[in-house]
Structure 1
Amino acid sequence: MEAHAGERSGFADAAYAAMGAQVVATAPEVFGAAELVLKVKEPQPEEIALLRPGQILFTYLHLAADPAQAKGLLARGVSAVAYETIRDAGGRLPLLTPMSEVAGRMAAHVGAFYLQQPNGGRGMLLGGVPGVPPAHVVVLGAGAVGLNAIKVAAGMGARVTALARSLATLRYLDDIFGNRIETLWSNEAHVEEAIARADLVIGAVLVPGAATPKLVTRRMLSRMQPGSVIVDVSVDQGGCVETTRPTTHTDPVYFVDGVLHYAVANMPGALPRTSTIALTNATLPYALKLATEGLARALLADPGFLAGLNTHAGRLTCRPVAESLGLPWEEPRAALERAA
């Protein structure tokens, strides 16, 4: 384990050492010794250079929005397993869900903060006060991110409009929230109409493994009110707003046409203790399978786990990523069996 890796989450090196971990001073030492590398975020260029053929990398990758990373992993011949494309028996995304829950709940709080006038917003309280209407929050998408954003925004007293493509999802939202929120089937006309009335727009769109479609165009932005806020949680996969570009926690916002954009590509990183524990609860069983059974045996025994394999032995093995990047790919099972 790299020294100090857990400190910002409240876990000291001594705690890992007490459990038998070997703590080393630098990342190159970790990469040089490990057969299985666990991370949270995608490898940086200097880390990709440390990877070697046959090594297993287990982390978030989001390759569809990062062709340079994809090509780097292919060139290194690493077996890269992405948290975000693993599915459980019900077809859900169990390793993406914890961070989606954190980011979705955080999105409403971030939006409320930036709606304050000193922070660049319209100067609106999300829940309003007696005699003053609440802010209007529009949530695009109603998966794990969207659902959690809706929960918090509605809980803070905002007027919430949720848009989704699935009628079953809209019925579910209607069942659990009733008349506390408004639901709309997501199409271009409804999106444009909703954001024109919004004080805060939360982008929560996900196409697993693939680049996010642009639901909000630059033209639509001109209809939004000056000082309104966009929090595009979809930025990890390219963003669902045409004017989105990735930002950082140290420089999180920018304006386009008078609309404030927040597009931090690692929102849960602002809450490292909560995020570390939530993510580890989900990832540890999969990491233990890789460590005890090896890559091929662990993945071939579980089709949902197999869906997490994005690159192997120089081949791209995730169809949505390949289609987004315009690159050839191979079925993951065939790639594993060929390289065996």
Structure 2
Amino acid sequence: MIIGIPKEIKPDEYRVSLIPGGVEEMLKHGHTVLVEKGAGLGSSISDQDYEKAGAQLIGNPGDIYKYAQFIMKVKEPMPEEYHLLKEDQIIFTFFHFAASKKLTDAILQANVIAIAYETIRDENGRHPILTPMSEVAGRMSIQAGAKYLEKPMHGRGILLGGVPGVAPAEVVIIGGGVVGTNAAKVAAGFGARVTILDIHMDRLRYLDDIMPKNVITLMSNIQNIRERVADADLLIGAVLIEGARAPHVVTKDMVKTMKAGAVIIDVAIDQGGCIETSRPTTHGNPVYTECNVIHYCVTNIPGAVGCTSTQALANVTLPYAMELVNKGYERAARENPAIMRGINAVKGKITNQAVAEAFGMDYNSLLLSSLSI
């Protein structure tokens, strides 16, 4: 199979989908790998590194899409790439369809097979490709929050951990999954007072056991959210519903009760955001102020640390990519249910129920059932 690795063109995206070691692995199995020139530079991987591994360097991204049967990316295709998509091509990347009707329509019109990193789920209910990026995003959310709480950034002028004789910041995290857990670890390490809210009691018990004493857990309900949001110096939105648009668990009225200069980091913005006042931003222009609260809603937070994120992502994507290129997507899906769960669209039809429901479109379960064992 011919595998194509385009350079990411989303603003301030420095990751690349395949590292030279992955190129070598694919070549061992008889595949051809086309890498766009400069694709790895944001992750400190040179064109020469790819050449040494056996990749063919391509200067024109259009040629990548023209010849490759399997496109492997990091982020969803941008509008400038829509016309390059080829019928029956397999596109393997983060899609987050529920956040964009425009992207969903473009993928359906292109008649490609869209396999989304974020909906690949194993038999234990874990998301093995989403997890390392959620770890990065959770940790970076606290770094960003600490920065924008500083007065020169128009924040409250609060040090997360305080100092002896001065109270630390109040950090409130909505969602106790991978993002929320990693955010809590870093915030607690800074010495902040941290509250994690989640809807699952078993998860709260687990977090209560493993977290230090400056972290408390609360059931996520409207009363607790309302009270804790009003107290927060830093609010982290970390809600995830697989494949679906994130619900607005924090309303605009709640945001209005926050302190002037408080900071919101909505990590769920990739899926539409879990805070009503959130809207997508970029690393180049990461924040805006609404209701006197600073909002940081960057849609590709891990992209800022390309070296770390690329290595972490490559660790988990390569095994699935190898299955797909060695077996083809149909056989791979039959033999690995995790891959089947990753298939969001097949040749103009939506095969993920949450995506279909997000836009009131038809859900085509029969396409997947025909692949079932």
Cα distance, 1:58–1:336 mapped onto 2, change above 3 Å: farther
Q: Partner residue of 1:167?
A: 201
1:287 and 2:344 correspond: no
Report matched runs for 1:173-252 at 5 Å: 173-252=207-286
- AA matched with 2:94: Y
1:305 and 2:336 correspond: no
1:148 and 2:204 correspond: no
State the 1:94 CA deviation.
0.5
Paired residues, what number?
Answer: 338
Cα distance, 1:308–1:286 mapped onto 2, change above 3 Å: same
CA distance in 1, matches of 2:62, 2:282: 25
CA distance in 1, matches of 2:323, 2:192: 44
Any idea what the Cα deviations from partners look like across 1:128-153, whole Å, max 9, x if unmatched? 00000100000000111000000000
- AA matched with 1:96: L
Contact 1:296 1:336 in 2 (8 A): no
CA distance in 1, matches of 2:84, 2:371: 26
TM-score by length of 1: 0.98
Match of 2:305 among 271, 279, 287: 271
Match of 1:18 among 46, 52, 62: 52
Report matched runs for 1:30-109 at 5 Å: 30-109=64-143
Any idea what the Cα deviations from partners look like across 1:49-81, whole Å, max 9, x if unmatched? 111111000000000011111111111100000
Any idea what the Cα deviations from partners look like across 1:157-189, whole Å, max 9, x if unmatched? 000000000000100011001532111100111
The farther-off stretch of 80-89 and 44-53 is: 44-53
Q: Partner residue of 2:348?
A: 314
The farther-off stretch of 4-13 and 41-50 is: 41-50
CA distance in 2, matches of 1:83, 1:90: 16
TM-score by length of 2: 0.89
Q: Partner residue of 2:17?
A: none
State the 1:89 CA deviation.
2.0
State the 1:20 CA deviation.
0.9
Contact 2:171 2:233 in 1 (8 A): yes
Q: Secondary structure at the match of 1:307?
A: helix
- AA matched with 1:154: A
Contact 1:309 1:332 in 2 (8 A): no
Q: Secondary structure at the match of 1:49?
A: helix
CA distance in 2, matches of 1:332, 1:136: 49
CA distance in 1, matches of 2:168, 2:214: 12
- AA matched with 1:78: V
Contact 1:299 1:305 in 2 (8 A): yes
RMSD of aligned alpha carbons:
1.2
Contact 1:318 1:332 in 2 (8 A): no
- AA matched with 2:361: L
- AA matched with 2:262: S
List 4+ stretches of structure 1 deviating above 6 A. none
Match of 1:9 among 37, 40, 43: 43
1:331 and 2:331 correspond: no
Q: Which runs of 5+ in 2 are unaligned?
A: 1-34
- AA matched with 2:160: L
Contact 2:333 2:371 in 1 (8 A): no
Q: Secondary structure at the match of 1:80?
A: strand
- AA matched with 2:270: D
Contact 2:334 2:371 in 1 (8 A): no
Identity of aligned residues (%): 50
